[in-house]
A and B are shown apart, each in its own frame.
Chain A
C-alpha cells in the first residue's frame, strides 16, 4: 500500500477433504488483530461442516494409517519444507494474530517449522519405543504394536495460534490418525493458511481438516459424533472441556484433557519468561511423546511358536 497499489485481500476458507470450501452455512465472522483491527472474514463453520470433515477424515484414515511410517515421515518433513518457503507470510499472520513483534513471531514460526521436523522423525520410531516383543511364559511369539486410534477431533489452543496449532496436529497425524481441527476462534488465520501448506505437501486430502468458527459450536457435534474416536481438548476452557468429555463418553472416545497450568506452578513460573507460555501448555518446551501416545492403541498379537518337530534319533 505504501507504493499506492491496492493490495489483493485473501479470502480465507476451510480446509476439508483436501479442498477449500466455504462454510456450508454461508456464515463468516470478523477476525481482528490484537489491537482490534479487522484482518479478514473467516468462515464460521457449522455442525454440518463438522460432519463433512469427519466423513473426509474417515475416508482418509485407511490410506494414511496404512501408509508406511517412512512415507508419513517424508510427508511431514515436506510440510516443514513448504512452511519454510512461506515463512514471511506466517510471521506476518502470527504477529497479527498474537500481537507479537516481528522477531518474536519469527521465532514462533521457526519453532513451528522445527516441530514438523521433530515429528517427521518420530513416525518410524514411535513403534519401536512403545511397542515390542513380550516374553510370555509359553510357546508363543507375542508382539505389541501401536496403531492409530482413528479420527481425532483436535481443539487447537486458543492463544498459540500457530506453534500450538502445529504442536497438536503433527503428533496426531504422525502416528497415522486423521484429524478434524478446530482453529483458535479468535486467531484462526494461521490455521487456515496452514491448510494451504498441507494441500501442497503431498499430504492426502482429508488427513487434516481445518475448521474455523465458534469452538463450542463445532466441538459439540464432534464430541458426540459416533464415528470420531478421539478428542484433544487443548483449546477448551474447563467448563467446555467437561461438557465435551461427557459427550465423548457416549462412544468412549480417547480424551486428551487440557493442561491445567496450576498443576505445575514451578513450570509456569519458569515459562512466564517465555513468549509461548499460554493455554496451560509451554509450547516451546520439549514436547516429549505424550501427544504421540495419546491417540495410539496398543495391539498385541499372539502366535504359537512350538517345536520344529518331534525329535527322532538313529539306531
Chain B
C-alpha cells in the first residue's frame, strides 16, 4: 500500500539474542549429544536462513531423559511446596528479565511478528509461571482433597505455534504439583525450549526436574510409549492426539490432549461492528491463523453480511505483512514449508469447490514461507474450508438467519474448542454461550488468554483443561 505516511523499517535488534551454532539435548541438567549422534537444522521461516543445528533425540535419549526425570522425582516431589514455588517464581522472574531476548528468538525461529512475541507470548509465559508458582504450596486448598499427590514423570509434547507459551502451559503446572518433566518441542521451533533449559540452570533448578528433548514425532511417540511415563500432555493435531489416545489405552497413564479446532465467530446484526471486525481479524490472523482456537469460521447474520464484509476487507487491506522482526509487522511468516503447502492445498480445494476467494493486497517477500490474509465467501457447511482445520490465515465466511441457526451451524463440527459471539444484547450472549459446544467462548472479544482461565476443548478438540485451578487436576493423582 503506497501511502503518504510510509512507516520506515523499525526492526527490533537481533543482537539481543545469541544463538549458538549447535545445541544438544538437555538431560539431567546437562546438554548432551543425541545417542545416535543425529542432528537437524532449524531455520527462520521468514528467510529460510539456518539458525542453528540441534540434536535429534531417539528412543535411547527418551529413555535417558525419563530415567533422569524419575531419579529427580523423589526429591522434587518431597520438597515442601513453598520451596518448589520459589523455584518457579525465580523462573518467572528470569523470563521477565530475558523477555526481549526470548521474544526475538521466538520470532526468529517461529516467524511470528515481534509485536506478538513481545506483547502476547512472553508476558503470558512469565504470568503462567508466576501463577502456578503460587499454587505449589496451596495444593491442599485446590479442591482435590488434602495433600494431593503428583503423578510422577510427565511426558510433554508441544507444537510450533506458541513454542514457549505452550512450554509454560505444560511445565509450570507440572512442576508446581511436584512432577518432573520430559518435554519435546516441535522440530521446527526447538530453540526457545533450549533457552528455557538455560533459564532452569540460572534458576538453580535441581537436575533432571526438567529435561528437553529436541526431535521429531518418533521421539514424541517413544516418550508417550515409555513405560515409566505417568502422564502425557500433548498439544497438537487431532490426528496425533487420537494416536496418543490409542497408544496409552489400557495403561494407567493420565492424559490431557489439546487439539484442533474450527472455531465459529458469530456476528449478530446488532454487533458493535468496528470491534467485531477487530475481533474477526484477531480471531483468524493472530499468529497467521496458526492457532488451534482460531475463529476460522465467520458466521455472520445475513442481514449485515455485506456491511461486515466490506468493513473486514477494508481492514485487511491495512494489515502489514513482512519482516517479523519489524515492530510494525502485523502478519509474519508461515512456520514451515510443509505448513504453507497444507494451507495452499486447502485453499485450492476451497476454490475448486466453488467458494469465492479474496486475498488482501500485499506483496509477499521472495524468500521464506508466506501466505496473504485470505477469506472465502459463499461458503456453506458442505465446503471443505468450513470443516477442516486450515491452521493458516484463511477465513471462511458463512451466513445465518436466526440465533438457532447460528448455534446449529457453529456446533456442526467434529471440533469444539472455541467460539465467538458478537452482539450488544446481553441475554443473547448468555443464551448462545450456553448452547455452544466449545470449551472457550469469547463474547465481544476473541483470542484472549490468561493463566487463571481454563483452556481446552469439547469433542475432538481434546480433553482436560490447562490454566487456572482446573489445570492442576491434570498433574495430580485425583
- A70 at interface (Cβ–Cβ under 8 A)? no
Q: Judging by beta carbons under 8 Å apart, are A246 and B246 in contact?
A: yes
Complex CA gap A303/B250 in Å reads 41
A301 touches B250 (CB 8 A): no
Residues of B within 8 A of A142 (CB): 450, 452-453
**Contact assessment for B127 and A137 in the assembled complex, using a CB-CB cutoff below 8 Å:** yes
Instruction: Report how far A260 CA is from B238 CA in the complex, Å.
Output: 29
- Closest B residue to A240 by beta carbon equals B250
Our pick among B249, B460, B465 for the contact of A245 (Cβ within 8 Å) is: B249
In contact, A297 and B460 (Cβ under 8 angstroms): no
Asked if B468 is an interface residue, CB under 8 A from chain A, the answer is yes
Please state if B245 and A252 are interface contacts (CB–CB under 8 Å): yes
Q: Are B252 and A257 in contact (CB under 8 A)?
A: yes
Interfacial chain A residues near B455, Cβ < 8 Å: 300
Tell me, yes or no, whether A298 is within 8 Å of chain B by CB.
yes
Q: How far is the CA of A229 from the CA of B463 in the complex (A)?
A: 11
Contacts of A242 in B (CB 8 A): 249-250
- Give the docked Cα–Cα distance between A290 and B143 (Å): 12
CA distance A254 to B478 in the complex (A): 16
Contacts A238-B250, A298-B456, A304-B444; is A136 near B462 (CB within 8 Å)? no
Say whether B442 faces chain A, with CB atoms less than 8 Å apart.
Answer: yes
B450 contacts A249, CB within 8 Å?
A: no
Give B275 Cβ to nearest chain A Cβ, in Å: 9
Considering only residues 401-453 of chain B, those with a C-beta below 8 Å from chain A are 414, 429, 433, 436, 438-445, 448, 450, 452-453
Bitwise, B161-189 to A at CB < 8 A (1) or not (0) is 00000000000000000000000000000
Partner of B445, one of A251, A254, A304: A304
Q: Report Cα–Cα, A135/B453, bound state, in Å.
A: 8
| Residues of A close to B443: CB separation below 8 A | 301-304
Q: Are B257's CB and A303's CB within 8 A?
A: no
Interfacial chain A residues near B450, Cβ < 8 Å: 134, 136-138, 142
| A interface bracket (residues with beta carbon within 8 Å of B) | 35 or more
A-facing residues in B455-469 (Cβ within 8 Å): 455-456, 458-460, 462-463, 465, 468
Counting chain A CB atoms within 10 Å of each CB, the highest count among B249, B440, B442, B463 belongs to B249
| A263 within 8 Å of B (CB atoms) | yes
Q: Is B327 an interface residue (CB 8 A)?
A: no
Residue B470 interfacial (CB < 8 Å): yes
A58 vs B252: C-alpha distance when bound (angstroms): 30
Closest residue to B144 on the A side, CB-wise? Answer: A289
Secondary structure dominating the interface of A? mixed
Total interface residues on B, CB under 8 Å, equals: 42
* CB–CB B257/A302 < 8 A: no
CB neighbours of B441 from chain A (8 A)? 299-302
A60: min CB distance to chain B, Å: 16
With A134-B468, A252-B462 known as contacts, the answer to whether A302 contacts B453 (CB < 8 A) is yes
Q: Does A201 contact B (CB under 8 A)?
A: no
Interface residues of A in 20-68 (CB under 8 A from B): none
Does B259 have its Cβ within 8 Å of any Cβ on chain A? yes
B242 at the interface (CB under 8 A from A): yes
In the complex where A136-B453, A298-B454 touch, is A252 in contact with B439 (Cβ < 8 A)? no
Residues of B with C-beta under 8 A to A241: 250
A240-281 vs B, Cβ < 8 Å mask (1 yes, 0 no)? 011001101111101101001001000000000000000000
Partner of B478, one of A135, A250, A290: A290
- The answer to the question of A129 belonging to the interface, with a C-beta cut-off of 8 Å to chain B, is yes
What CA separation (Å) do A299 and B478 show in the bound complex? Answer: 21
B146 shortest CB reach to chain A, Å: 12
Distance, CA A177 to CA B372, complexed state (A): 44
Contact of A144 with B242 in the complex, beta carbons under 8 Å:
no
Interface residues of B in 193-233 (CB under 8 A from A): none
Using a CB-CB cutoff of 8 Å, which residues 130-174 of chain A contact chain B? 130, 134-138, 140, 142, 144, 149
Nearest 7 A/B pairs, CB to CB: A242-B250, A245-B249, A249-B245, A136-B450, A134-B452, A303-B443, A246-B249
What are 28 A-B residue pairs whose CB atoms fall within 8 Å in the complex? Answer: A134-B450, A134-B452, A134-B468, A136-B452, A136-B453, A142-B450, A149-B458, A241-B250, A245-B245, A245-B249, A249-B242, A249-B245, A249-B249, A251-B414, A252-B238, A252-B245, A252-B463, A298-B456, A299-B433, A301-B441, A301-B442, A301-B443, A302-B440, A302-B443, A302-B445, A302-B453, A304-B444, A304-B445
Residues of B within 8 A of A (CB): 127, 143, 145, 238, 241-243, 245-246, 249-250, 252, 257, 259, 414, 429, 433, 436, 438-445, 448, 450, 452-456, 458-460, 462-463, 465, 468, 470, 478
A residues at B contact (CB < 8 Å): 129-130, 134-138, 140, 142, 144, 149, 229, 238, 241-242, 245-246, 248-252, 254-255, 257, 260, 263, 288, 290, 297-304
